[in-house]
Chain A
């Protein structure tokens, strides 16, 4: 079913070593247009390291990370700086929330617009009409994104004063501000209560449908994963052990074994 859809991200045999430790062991994975893909696995399986390789925070030991933007030529992401990766249309959130805590909620989102705007030092000093207009565009876009994730009432709060669930949504808004076509979410529901989680899955589906953004997420909340994502990739000890639709994964003996003894929110 996925064959005729455009492949956006293609990872082939990705391997990452830390000293003698192989954190990610030749993992291959693909995300297609319109998909909400999920990457699951027990703690320490190497999921976040996989994200860090894809987004340029680590340079992988071997393997290929290929990005196929629609209508543009394919780019290999290995070894590119994180800001270049983001510029190419691949944004992310962090597992252990990394907001700019003493900036306001709006300013946090405005930072996301950085790579899509141009004013440099000299033009910022002169502050001509072009710069003022661009500045206003940043503010408006950011505010609209806050509305989209339902944070407009916090617009002038400091990011550090937000409740936990709201901080996670702010990270999503900030990532969306970079105009991505693929969004990587690292445990977006961690620490959320059931009500917040159900709001979140609606938000993720909305982003996927309305903004035409493909999503790859790491998540431990199985209910959420099974409900919204397809395909699902499973990792354990750095290796990919399974992939497929939620139904396949649910019945896969390898996956059940990997999770045995692990807490499964089902």
Chain B
């Protein structure tokens, strides 16, 4: 007890020291004023004191869990157990789908619009999940593929007046092509190098869109992009939002089906094996380059498609929408939700998009919390909120087993 208290006290003092210049002093070298915020010391002291107790408790619990796992005692939470129940799961899905379908009828355009944003991030999360979660390829420039989709619609619409439905597949294919072209040279890099090179690609894309004015109209962006058409019917803003909402629902459902099927297929297993051990993977006859490339390009494909929808929804895009921050948000969706877990990623997207939207006070601290959440998740719950559901296989086995032994 006393030991714990002492330790927390030391931690608390340390953090008071650590945060002193940044949290207490605020200098404005333009107007030459210094503000001393002494009360912050108190908050830091109390906060870090309490948190250090929490930290120790969580670490202890984690170590206990790890030991249990080694001894083969699976610790399944009630939520996880419920999700493993297929009947329950299917019913819950049906209810959710019905709720999703009647959402725009109950709520107003503003809410529907927010929901569209959330759904866009669901698809982005699921797309990135293929690379990061399944194949273990950390992509920090994923937003570039989203940008490729958005810009391909904006540009094709601006210069050639092409419609939404024509560009939708084009956006996906272009995203995919970019994925292949960029992926080809870099996929033999080790995990952490890959991360930093993809980060570079994200930045290069943004800078190119800022500077290649003849194509992208530069930093001012492209405005007045057409909303999706529906057999030439004129739609009000509200109707159009609802329309996009349903397009997004359809896309989300499609993405879920496709990624779910792939995850439990020969290709998906190869991705997961690749994440676990590359050398064992190639020694088992899996073509590493091809497998990696397929995961990378498929992720880019979804980003491209959803980029087109994003451009159609906002009717205006500029390079500022495609910064590292967006990539980081998508990554935290995947990490928070659970790498490799489809349900987890969906939940993660809703939490990360809707929470700052509805808790206005929180929105200022959004990135601070996301950053901290990424660290905490890795340490205390690396499998994410909902860990990967396990595929159940049916097998008969040999009948003449007794004859064998």
- Interface residue ranges, A against B (CB under 8 Å): 55-57, 81-83, 86-87, 91-92, 94, 98-104, 106-107, 110-117, 119-121, 124-125, 127, 131, 134-136, 138-140, 142-144, 147, 152, 155-157, 161, 174-175, 177-178
Contact = CB atoms under 8 A, between A and B. Distances in A.
Q: How large is the interface on B (under 10, 10 to 19, 20 to 34, 35 or more residues)?
A: 35 or more
Given A120-B267, A135-B266, A87 B72 contact: no
Interface stretch (B48-56, B285-293, B326-334): B285-293
B70 to A, nearest CB: 8
B299 to A, nearest CB: 12
Contacts of B397: 140, 143-144, 147, 152
13 contacts: A55-B283, A81-B288, A82-B283, A92-B283, A98-B279, A99-B277, A101-B276, A106-B395, A107-B269, A112-B284, A121-B267, A138-B266, A157-B72
B265 interface: yes
Interface of B: 69-70, 72, 258, 261-262, 265-270, 272-273, 276-277, 279-288, 294, 298, 390-391, 393-398, 401, 404
Contacts of B69: 161
Closest 7 CB pairs of A and B: A115-B285, A124-B265, A86-B285, A98-B280, A100-B276, A143-B395, A82-B282
What does DSSP make chain A's interface, helix, strand, loop or mixed? helix
A131 B265 contact: yes
B396 A124 contact: no
Contacts of A125: 258, 261-262
Contacts of A175: 284
A88 B210 CA distance: 51
Contacts of A124: 261-262, 265-268
Contacts of B401: 147
Contacts of A101: 276-277
A135 B280 CA distance: 22
B72 A161 contact: yes
B393 A83 contact: no
Contact of B284 (A81, A157, A174): A174
Given A82-B279, A107-B391, 16 more contacts: A57-B282, A83-B286, A87-B285, A94-B283, A98-B280, A103-B273, A112-B285, A115-B285, A124-B262, A124-B265, A124-B267, A127-B261, A138-B266, A147-B401, A174-B284, A178-B285
A153 B279 CA distance: 27
Contacts of B288: 81, 83
Nearest to A171: B280
A86 B276 contact: no
Given A139-B393, A147-B397, A114 B283 contact: no
Nearest to A127: B261
